[in-house]
Amino acid sequence: MFACRLPWRRSSVTCKSWQSGHFVPWGSCQMLSIKGINTTVGQEQQAGMKEKQMLEDSEMHLSRRDTEALFQEQPETGNQYLEDTLLRSYLQTHLPPKVLEEVHQDLERFGNRLLTKIQPLSWECELTPPVFRQFDAWGRRVDHIHTCSAWRRMKEISAEEGLIAEAYEKRYSNWSRLYQAVKLYLFSSSSGGFSCPLAMTDGAAKVIESLGIPGSLKNAFDCLTSRDPEKFWTSGQWMTERRGGSDVANGTETVARKQPDGTYRLYGFKWFTSAADSDMALTLARIADAEGQCTQGSRGLSLFFLRVRDEEGKLNNIQVQRLKDKLGTRQMATAELWLQGARAELISAEGRGVAAISNMLNITRIHNVIGAVASMRRMVSLSRDYACKRVAFGKLLKDHPLHVQTIARMEVQVRGAFLLLMDIVRLLGLAETNLASEQEQLLLRLLIPVAKLYTGKQASAVAVEAMESFGGQGYMEDTGLPVILRDALVLSIWEGTTNILSLDVLRSLAKSQGQVMAVFLSTVQRKLELASGTEELSPAVQRAREAIGSLGQFMAATGSERALTMELAARDFSYSLARIYTGALLMEHAARPSASPTDVCAALRWCHQELCPVAAESARGSYGDGAALQDSALVFGNSRL
């Protein structure tokens, strides 16, 4: 990369004078005559001093002029929808013509609104993070989380644009979910962090819908999916506790006590509650019996709905301990909460809380993918624009082949991740309108954790690489680039780390008794058959088929292996699924009659990488009997532990 340095250079011009607001070269000027001054010694000295002062002033102006000339142009993007050629080509390929016509008009309008109205609010959210005030001036406890006006405006805009409503109104049948995902994808990098509350809001609406929208929750569902800013609610997701993380089965200590009126009171400590300023929350707790005993493990967990505040705005027997001091997503209030008898409603079957939140996790994980792809697209778009403006070593960055190669490699990653996202929301739309086959539903269950874990890692890598493409400016807070990097880093952690989700992938395979894998392989094979008709794609098709063969050999060889072997292979196995399937999607897109040479190039380059790392690592003995012992020795061998 070519660093954004600000070198000090002296002008070759001998000196300059400031006259009428313009620089005039001293070399072309005659000596100034000083009228009315007698040529006495004192007067000559006075004239000399004036001339010296003028020279010093001109030098100062020269320095300023040289510094001003070194300022660099800010990278900018225009209408994000109109500039995203891959997005537009995907919609043109897949959407029915009438749907495409309506969607195109709305997305073009939305793109302009993002550019002119929403993006400035995003920066204000970053500059004005939430503030927690525990007591008022008279010592009364208020536990007030103050958010800036821009954050509150983002909530109103989310309602106006139907960023949640679109998926539940189903105006476009099975395409409604994809359309919603596209708007969220465009909104994400301009949302000032508000895309996170929207993820949990969407997840909560999905849970309530999956329960049949019981009467007691109808108002909540209507508010979560409303287009009216005055009525719209956001939801929190209170799962993580002090022993928590992803292990909610063993980490949840919150207790629910049933009341005479059928409601429950919740008691416990929630260690990490995102969007703590939301209107409602879904949370897990263990129901205590008459003796106060609770069932442990996942079988003891039930799902509850609660309002955060009452009609008067008072907290629902909740105390805010503090706001979390996070690396990123600082725009959003994340808090530690004490539930001290919070009134709640049981909404799952008793002991079926984990099963009830599965729909929520699927939705929030898809939102995680949306955020990952959006952050990558934003960084690459800014890098591309900057390359057309920044001059280094005598020419624009776009004229340095190595620099362009680096951006091109990032672009391939973004394209692959985007098509993977679109395929998942396409399948989700089919499932939500009862149009998905059993095979498509199985594929969706597999692809959600695969896409979440893989794009989370991609987003961090692309953000770091893109940041470097700006040199020193990429490291400056006021450019806004570090914000994108910090916010991207949470994507591989939130809603399950890479390792946790890799193990989830293995469980989904075991639970389906091999059906999921059969569907995965047959789907990839169909896409490769389609791509095989395009001669330019033949090298990519060949590499993908070799990868499928290697994957099959690995699975056959480890089918009877003990659990440790598959656990060690879980991460590489999930990466293999992601790379093979994404490669097939890129080839499918490149095989369209209207495909461009760029589409073909992206597919070929994606398939240049190792598509089946699990087979390669297996051949190196990475999952053998001694591998775990070697890993332990490497990690702890030089430690007092």
Contacts of 615 (CB under 8 A, 6+ apart): 547, 550, 551, 553, 554, 576
Percent of the residues in the chain that have a pLDDT greater than 90, as a whole number: 77
Given a cut of 70, is residue 12 above it in pLDDT?
Answer: no
Assess whether 153 and 239 both reside in one domain: no
Report angle CA 136, 137, 138 to the nearest 5 degrees. 90
What CATH number is given to the structural domain containing 266? 2.40.110.20
* Upper half-sphere CA count for residue 584 (Cβ side, 13 Å): 22
Assess whether 332 and 273 both reside in one domain: yes
Distance CA 357, CA 305 (A): 12
Given a cut of 90, is residue 591 above it in pLDDT?
Answer: yes
Given a cut of 60, is residue 89 above it in pLDDT?
Answer: yes
Assess whether 518 and 547 both reside in one domain: yes
Distance CA 553, CA 535 (A): 28
Assess whether 270 and 332 both reside in one domain: yes
Is residue 80, in this structure, part of any structural domain at all? Answer: no
Full domain range(s) for residue 596: 513-624
Q: Tell me which DSSP letter residue 233 carries.
A: -
Chain mean pLDDT for the chain: 89
- pLDDT at res. 248: 77
Residue 90 CA, distance from chain mean position: 21
Query: Structure tokens of 476?
Result: 């400056």
Phi, psi of 268 (to 5 degrees): 165, 180
Assess whether 185 and 203 both reside in one domain: yes
Query: Structure tokens of 395?
Result: 């020419």
- DSSP letters of 156-174? HHHHHTTTTHHHHH-TTGG
Assess whether 255 and 199 both reside in one domain: no
Confidence category of residue 558, pLDDT binned at 50, 70, 90: confident
Domain end position, chosen among 352, 374, 393: 352
CA distances from residue 252 to 266, 275, 283, 453 in whole angstroms, order as listed: 12, 20, 10, 24
Given a cut of 60, is residue 338 above it in pLDDT?
Answer: yes
Distance CA 122, CA 125 (A): 5
Region 88-106: mean pLDDT is 97
Is residue 39, in this structure, part of any structural domain at all? Answer: no
Q: Give the number of other CB atoms < 10 A from CB of residue 252.
A: 27
Assess whether 252 and 190 both reside in one domain: no
- pLDDT at res. 514: 85
Region 66-77: mean pLDDT is 70
Domain end position, chosen among 225, 251, 273: 225
Is residue 150, in this structure, part of any structural domain at all? Answer: yes
Given a cut of 70, is residue 456 above it in pLDDT?
Answer: yes
- pLDDT at res. 4: 41
Domain end position, chosen among 225, 246, 268: 225
Given a cut of 80, is residue 419 above it in pLDDT?
Answer: yes
- DSSP letters of 41-68? HHHHHHHHHHHHHHHHHHHHHHHHHHHH
Is residue 566, in this structure, part of any structural domain at all? Answer: yes
Task: Please give the tally of structural domains in the chain.
Answer: 3
> What stretches of 5-161 show up as alpha helix (H) in DSSP?
41-69, 80-83, 85-94, 97-113, 119-127, 149-160
- 105 by DSSP, 3-state: which? helix
Nearest to 58 by CA among 87, 31, 86, 23: 23
Paired with 132 in beta bridges are 145
Assess whether 158 and 274 both reside in one domain: no
Is residue 253, in this structure, part of any structural domain at all? Answer: yes
- pLDDT at res. 246: 72
Following CA atoms 489, 490, 495, 501 in sequence, which dihedral angle do they give, to the nearest 10 degrees?
20
Q: What is the largest CA-CA distance in the chain?
A: 111
Assess whether 538 and 589 both reside in one domain: yes
Confidence category of residue 11, pLDDT binned at 50, 70, 90: very low
Nearest to 331 by CA among 35, 70, 123, 640: 123
Distance CA 235, CA 277 (A): 9
Confidence category of residue 308, pLDDT binned at 50, 70, 90: very high
Paired with 336 in beta bridges are 322
pLDDT digits (tens, 9 = 90+) for 118-133: 999 999 999 999 999 9
Q: Where does residue 173 fall: left (phi above 0), alpha (psi -120 to 50 degrees), or beta otherwise?
A: left
Query: Structure tokens of 593?
Result: 């009659």
pLDDT digits (tens, 9 = 90+) for 490-514: 999 998 999 999 999 999 998 888 8
Residues in the chain: 641
Paired with 340 in beta bridges are 267
Assess whether 200 and 316 both reside in one domain: no
Residue whose entry in the numeric block shows the structure tokens 């949302």: 191
Which amino acid is residue 629, in one-letter code? L
Is residue 76, in this structure, part of any structural domain at all? Answer: no
Is residue 461, in this structure, part of any structural domain at all? Answer: no
Q: State pTM to two decimals.
A: 0.88
Contacts of 462 (CB under 8 A, 6+ apart): 375, 376, 379, 380, 410, 413, 414
Confidence category of residue 27, pLDDT binned at 50, 70, 90: very low
- pLDDT at res. 15: 40
With beta carbons less than 8 A apart as the criterion, state whether 135 and 204 touch: no
Confidence category of residue 32, pLDDT binned at 50, 70, 90: very low
Assess whether 101 and 211 both reside in one domain: yes
- DSSP letters of 370-434? HHHHHHHHHHHHHHHHHHTT-EETTEEGGG-HHHHHHHHHHHHHHHHHHHHHHHHHHHHHHHHTT
- pLDDT at res. 54: 65
- pLDDT at res. 579: 98
- pLDDT at res. 47: 58
Higher pLDDT pick, 32 / 406? 406
Is residue 545, in this structure, part of any structural domain at all? Answer: yes
Assess whether 266 and 180 both reside in one domain: no
Nearest to 109 by CA among 163, 11, 176, 183: 183
